[in-house]
Amino acid sequence: MLIVPSIDLLEGQVVRLAQGERSRRTVYAADPLALARRYAEAGADWLHVVDLEGAFAGEPRHEELIGRLCAEAGLPVQVGGGIRTLATARRRLAAGATRVVLGTALVEDPELARAVVEEFGAERVVAALDAKDGRIAIRGWTEVGALVEEVGLRLREAGVIRALHTDVARDGVGLGANIGATARLARACGMHTIISGGVASLEDVHRALACGEPLVEGLIVGRALYEGRFDLPEACRLAHA
């Protein structure tokens, strides 16, 4: 099981948005790179970086800062937020990202999924399958569409092998992750799937390890880490045992 700290960027700072709402932000750190290095030292497996401004604008922001995170954090980095074209994915990967996370673009254009997989390989692409009440949420979670499993199946057919599943209702509010929904999605789509949204404590790590679905390969944690409610070294010890 992989433990993946998240760094969400807005105006150059590390923030969290409650349920994806820009007006409900909390600033946690002014130096994202120093935070990333601490996560690496604590034993994290990956770093998940979200360009929130890019997600809202529909095109990347924070390009210099994310380039430094990829080069200097000491962890493989997956980057999402505003990656909606093949050219943008190409730029993020060329700047040092190990994987790119695409949401809105893949949902609206499955042919883009085929093109990205064909050019970069399936291991470098992650589909962000964010859900509100079981339906896909796109454009910075401002619009809701088809059932998330239906979208996942279309993307699997297009060659995508990995998804990040976020229950928007639990994101940034510390209610605990919806691990059951992530496991069901993994089984339905046949994709390696990462839990996101609401991870609040080591109990979520225990529940993820016990969920019984081998395609659930890790979890992303953000706010609970920022607020000192999640013991990262212990989580890594549990996950790697």
Q: For the chain, how many residues are written? A: 241
Residue recorded with tokens 């691990």: 179
Annotated active-site residue in 31, 45, 109, 130 = 130
Catalytic, 130? Answer yes
DSSP 2-54: EEEEEEEEETTEEEEEGGG-TTSEEEEES-HHHHHHHHHHHT-S-EEEEEHHH
Annotated active-site residue in 8, 51, 167, 204 = 8
Tokens at 225, concatenated: 């880490």
DSSP 93-123: HHTT-SEEEE-HHHHH-HHHHHHHHHHH-GG
Contact of 223 with 24, CB cutoff 8 Å: no
Residues classed as catalytic: 8, 130
